[in-house]
Structure 1
Amino acid sequence: MLLTIPSTRYENSILYTNTKKRTRYVRRRSYMKQSPIVLQGDMGLPRLLALIFIPTILATAAYVVVGLSQQAIPSLLLFFLVATLVLFPIELGVVLRASKRHYGSYSLRSAFANHKHMPWWKILAFALVLFGYAGIMSAAIGPLERMLMSPLSDRLYRSIPAYFNWDNLEYLRHYPKGILLTTCVGFIAFNVIVGPIVEELFFRGYLTSRISRFGRWSPVIVTVLFSLYHLWLPLNNLFRILVFLPAAYVAWRQKNIYIAIAFHCLCNLISTIGFIVALYAV
Structure 2
Amino acid sequence: MHAIEKTRQGAMVQSLLSDRHSLPLSIMLHLLPGAFIIAAYLLIGEPFIEAINYPTLLGWAIALCLVLIPILLGLLWLGRQLNGRFSVRGVLRYTDRPVPRGKLVAMIIPLIVWMMVLSVATEPVNRFLLHHFFTWVPFTSGAGSFTGFMSGYSHSTMVTTMLICLPLTGISLPLIEELYFRGFLLPRIARLGGWAPVASAVLFSLYHFWTPWVFVSRVIFMFPGFWFAWRTKDIRVSIGMHVGVTSIMATFGVLAVALNLV
TM bucket (normalised to shorter chain) is 0.7 to 0.9
Distance in 2 (alpha carbons) for counterparts of 1:51 and 1:251: 19
Q: CA deviation at 1:199?
A: 0.4
Q: Match of 1:147?
A: 128
* Equivalent residues of 2:79, 2:88 under 8 A apart: yes
Trace 1:1-282 onto structure 2 (pairs within 5 A).
40-66=18-44, 67-68=46-47, 71=50, 72=52, 73-84=54-65, 86-109=66-89, 110-113=91-94, 115-138=96-119, 140-153=121-134, 155-156=135-136, 162=141, 165=143, 167=145, 169=147, 172-276=150-254, 279=257, 280-281=260-261
The residue type equivalent to 1:217 in the other structure is: W
Distance in 2 (alpha carbons) for counterparts of 1:144 and 1:166: 10
Q: Match of 2:7?
A: none
* Equivalent residues of 1:76, 1:166 under 8 A apart: no
After TM superposition, the score normalised by the length of structure 2 is 0.79
Distance of aligned partners of 1:97 and 1:137 in 2 relative to their CA distance in 1, 3 Å threshold: same
The residue type equivalent to 1:111 in the other structure is: L
Distance of aligned partners of 1:255 and 1:113 in 2 relative to their CA distance in 1, 3 Å threshold: closer
Q: Secondary structure at the match of 1:210?
A: helix
Q: Secondary structure at the match of 1:107?
A: coil
Q: CA deviation at 1:160?
A: 5.0
Q: CA deviation at 1:44?
A: 1.7
Distance of aligned partners of 1:92 and 1:267 in 2 relative to their CA distance in 1, 3 Å threshold: same
Q: Answer with 1 or 2: which has the greater Rg.
A: 1
Counting aligned pairs with the same residue, the percent is: 27
Distance in 1 (alpha carbons) for counterparts of 2:120 and 2:62: 31
After TM superposition, the score normalised by the length of structure 1 is 0.74
Q: Match of 1:20?
A: none
Distance of aligned partners of 1:103 and 1:217 in 2 relative to their CA distance in 1, 3 Å threshold: farther
Unaligned runs of 5+ in 2: 1-16
Unaligned runs of 5+ in 1: 1-38
